[in-house]
Structure 1
Amino acid sequence: MSNTSIQEKNYKRFITIVSIVIPLAVALLFRVNLRELGLDVEPLRFLPPIYASINALTAVLLVASVVVIKKGNRKLHEQLNTVAIVCSVLFLIMYVAYHMTSNSTKFGGEGVIKYIYLFILFTHIVLSIIIIPFVLVTFMRARLGKFPEHKKIAKITFPLWLYVAVSGVVVYLMISPYYV
């Protein structure tokens, strides 16, 4: 078995584990509220605008990444995507930390706007789970030098990831008036 095949097998194993563990861990941790468990922790109420900003930055990085690769700058493209992945991980950590220390905020809008909010929130959540293996496979293919395969999946990954990043900001903007 070649070194590339071994690397690819290891990447695939890692991607499978991460793609299962992250959504499960988030679902479990989302149900844990440290304050309700009697721990004396301050609610991290300052985090939502920060993680919404990180989502916005992720969207900008993704668009910039596509622009630079179309100009042939592979190195900068790789760097921008790596930073976008780091931003997504930071978002996830802050999101979980916020929900572990604060009560969930209910959307207070009524009528059609409530259904629009719920649609955006639902699609954001579902796609944020689906996007994990797409991002990791896209990244893996580039790391292994499989650029035709990378480009093929990136055409799917990019719009999904961009939607998740932008919809995260929209969800924040829609619910922010209802934070206590």
Structure 2
Amino acid sequence: MNERLFGFVGGDSGAWEVTQMRAVKGAPLPEVKTIAILNGFSIQGHHAHWVLRGVTSNERYVTKEEKSRLIATQEGLGRTESTLAALIPIRKNASWWLLTQEERREILEERSHHIQIGMAYLPAIARRLYHCRDIGTPEPFDFLTWFEFSPSDASQFDDLVAQLRTTHEWSYIDHEIDIRLARKNG
């Protein structure tokens, strides 16, 4: 089993109960009751209304200093107190992908301060980014971002995504879904 491959299965069984689901930009996904997070792409044993697939990868747009700060500050997923989560799949438009890596970094951080904004909410909000374009098969989104946080940090999470959605970088988004979740029995 490849530990970098993950499937997010929207259906009727899973560890995370969907509390809210809305299309921020673009078409919505079909409504589901739960999301199961599976290591690998096999959904055997799960009734899926939809499956979003991604892989974990290296950080692409951070400097060495930023990466060191992230490692020193960010806490991992699965913390006992983090009973709330959000799955935010996004797709960027063709204009974004025509830019060079250097141009994307300039928009992401120098103009939009994406990394700086995110760091302001650490360690309260843990996150993991999954890349969909690296799979080699057509996927509906480019990135799946998974966030976990405690109920006492829910308003901070709302502030974080609100800030990010006002940046220049977000003008390149053409499809975004915001799915809020609560850990079952959590």
Please report the TM-score for the alignment, with normalisation by the length of structure 1: 0.29
Structure with more helix by fraction: 1
Please report the TM-score for the alignment, with normalisation by the length of structure 2: 0.28
Q: Specify the structure having the higher radius of gyration (Cα).
A: 1
Structure with more strand by fraction: 2
